[in-house]
């Protein structure tokens, strides 16, 4: 039995207490860890890749890269990166492609599975012009024109609702205006796809700025999520949201927090990575796939996860485990009436997702369950491709981190992208 499952076999009241205490402690000791952490990690002998940011990683492996800053309408500053393979300079495929990460991740996640396997590398190798976005609250998007994330709790008043309304459109506009084109293609993993649907519902004109959406294990309604540890943590956070907010704990699972630093340290040691770190991950997602994630990828992903998000966002996921619809954050009846004009939070209009959509998912995904995928697919008006990965053990993490990405999801992603890159060039001329 894995460590996580054992932890969650005990009663829920004790778990709640422990989690709340851990979050309080982590928040208090967090700030001391920020300075000099690179020096310390170098001294402790970390693999050099663990110390590099997006640009440095791209450059190290021979790719050219750019750093840009997107400003959202409500003042958040988000980094967006661009990666290109140098051999492609004269024949880069168009339109540009935008990648969006999942919850508690950042743009770095697309690199974790190393060159030849990680999707950002594979896309660049096929000469796609890949832009890699970040969503507010993670370590590349923890800045604002006027709000200070360390002092102003209102910085953290957001969930998927605002990310889909502001961040995704702002990033799309930025890429389009930089490239002087009218459309792009979009690949979203988990929350990165869910936020795209939010955008289409609330700002349908942005849906039309995208030629193709590839949703990898897209997270919308999570009613059938099987993972017990995941359900427990999210339910606890949702239940204790008011209490934690009172204690000024508005940011959760930040990079360089005590917890993340400790876990990163343990997981870069080969001796621990499989028995502890791999089993912990598999316990958390409640679905194992032995040998799928290499030691190198495990240590990379633990150095980037958790990348930080808001308490509100996690609480909203807690709500979505118990809702029948893909809907907005529930403030409680009184506030809902003020904010939404109805006692219940409104559902997102998935009929407005008018563009061609391809969905790729795993049968062994216990976070985004296949039943919720079917529910989503029924609601979407223009699904042109639906693919369950042939490997029956394919789970939520494999899509980003498996060493088998090249043989499983990549051929499908590549095939559809090529089709839409060509189609766009033809209609343009």
Ligand X SMILES: *[C@@H]1O[C@H](CO)[C@@H](O)[C@H](O)[C@H]1NC(C)=O
Residues acting as catalytic residues: 190, 365, 396
Told to check if 412 binds ligand X by CB under 6 A, we report no
Told to check if 322 binds ligand X by CB under 6 A, we report no
Shortest distance, CB of residue 40 to ligand X, whole angstroms? 17
Taking the least distance from each CB to ligand X, the nearer of 116 and 242 is: 116
The residue from 3, 19, 53, 385 that contacts ligand X (CB under 6 A) is 53
Told to check if 304 binds ligand X by CB under 6 A, we report no
Write the interaction track for ligand X spanning residues 358-397; mark x where CB under 6 A is met and - where it is not. ----------------------------------------
DSSP 295: H
The burial class, CB within 10 Å (0-12 / 13-18 / 19+), for 79 is buried
Measured distance CA(188)–CA(403) in Å, rounded: 19
Task: Find, among 280, 282, 278, the residue nearest to 297 by Cα.
Answer: 278
Using CB atoms, what's the residue nearest to ligand X? 116
Question: Which neighbouring-strand residues pair with 200?
Answer: none
With CB under 6 A as the rule, give the number of residues binding ligand X.
13
Shortest distance, CB of residue 109 to ligand X, whole angstroms? 15
The residue from 64, 114, 349, 412 that contacts ligand X (CB under 6 A) is 349
The residue from 239, 294, 406, 412 that contacts ligand X (CB under 6 A) is 406
Buried b (16+ CB within 10 A) or exposed e, 166-194: bbbbbbbebbbeebeeebbbbbbbbbbbb
The residue from 39, 66, 67, 422 that contacts ligand X (CB under 6 A) is 67
Backbone angle region of 94, left / alpha / beta, with phi > 0 → left and psi within -120 to 50 → alpha: beta
Write the interaction track for ligand X spanning residues 161-200; mark x where CB under 6 A is met and - where it is not. ----------------------------------------
Whether the CB-CB separation of 276 and 269 falls below 8 Å is answered with: no
Task: Find, among 366, 403, 374, 405, the residue nearest to 389 by Cα.
Answer: 405
Cα dihedral: 35, 41, 44, 47 (round 10): -170
**Token pair for 353:** 């997702």
The residue from 352, 370, 403, 423 that contacts ligand X (CB under 6 A) is 352
Taking the least distance from each CB to ligand X, the nearer of 67 and 150 is: 67
Taking the least distance from each CB to ligand X, the nearer of 55 and 294 is: 55
Shortest distance, CB of residue 43 to ligand X, whole angstroms? 18
- For 146-177, the DSSP string reads S--TTT-GGGG---HHHIIIIIHHHHHHHHHH
Shortest distance, CB of residue 163 to ligand X, whole angstroms? 19
Told to check if 39 binds ligand X by CB under 6 A, we report no
Which residues lie near ligand X (CB under 6 A)? 53, 55-56, 67, 79, 116, 140, 204, 349, 351-352, 406-407
């Amino acid at each position: 039995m894995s460590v996580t499952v054992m932890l969650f076999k005990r009663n829920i009241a004790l778990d709640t207490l422990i989690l709340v205490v851990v979050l309080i402690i982590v928040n208090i000791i967090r700030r001391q860890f920020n300075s000099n952490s690179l020096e310390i990690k170098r001294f402790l002998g970390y693999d050099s890749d663990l110390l590099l940011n997006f640009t440095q990683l791209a450059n190290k492996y021979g790719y050219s890269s750019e750093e840009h800053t997107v400003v959202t309408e409500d003042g958040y500053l988000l980094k967006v990166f661009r990666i290109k393979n140098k051999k492609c300079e004269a024949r880069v495929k168009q339109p540009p492609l935008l990648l969006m990460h999942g919850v508690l991740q950042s743009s770095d996640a697309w690199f974790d599975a190393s060159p030849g396997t990680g999707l950002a590398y594979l896309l660049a190798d096929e000469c796609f012009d890949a832009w890699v976005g970040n969503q507010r609250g993670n370590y590349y998007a923890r800045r604002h024109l006027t709000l200070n994330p360390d002092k102003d709790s209102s910085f953290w008043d957001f969930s998927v609702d605002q990310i889909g309304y502001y961040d995704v459109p702002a990033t799309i506009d930025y890429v389009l205006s930089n490239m002087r084109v009218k459309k792009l293609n979009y690949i979203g993993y988990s929350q990165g796809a869910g936020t795209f649907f939010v955008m289409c519902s609330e700002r349908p004109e942005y849906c039309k700025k995208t030629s193709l959406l590839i949703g990898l294990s897209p997270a919308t309604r999570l009613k059938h999520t099987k993972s017990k540890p995941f359900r427990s943590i999210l339910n606890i956070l949702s239940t204790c949201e008011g209490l934690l907010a009172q204690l000024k704990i508005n940011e959760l699972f930040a990079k360089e927090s005590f917890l993340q630093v400790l876990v990163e340290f343990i997981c870069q040691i080969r001796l621990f990575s499989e028995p502890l770190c791999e089993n912990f991950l598999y316990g958390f997602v409640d679905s194992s796939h032995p040998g799928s994630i290499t030691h190198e990828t495990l240590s990379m992903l633990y150095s980037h996860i958790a990348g930080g998000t808001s308490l509100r966002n996690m609480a909203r996921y807690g709500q979505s485990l118990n809702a029948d619809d893909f809907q907005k954050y529930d403030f409680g009846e009184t506030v809902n009436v003020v904010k939404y004009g109805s006692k219940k939070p409104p559902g997102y209009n998935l009929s407005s997702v008018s563009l061609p959509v391809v969905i790729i998912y795993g049968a062994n995904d216990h976070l985004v369950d296949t039943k919720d995928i079917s529910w989503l697919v029924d609601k979407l008006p223009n699904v042109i491709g639906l693919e369950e990965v042939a490997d029956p053990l394919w789970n939520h993490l494999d899509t980003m981190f498996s060493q088998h990405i090249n043989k499983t999801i990549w051929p499908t992603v590549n095939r559809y992208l090529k089709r839409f890159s060509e189609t766009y060039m033809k209609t343009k001329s």
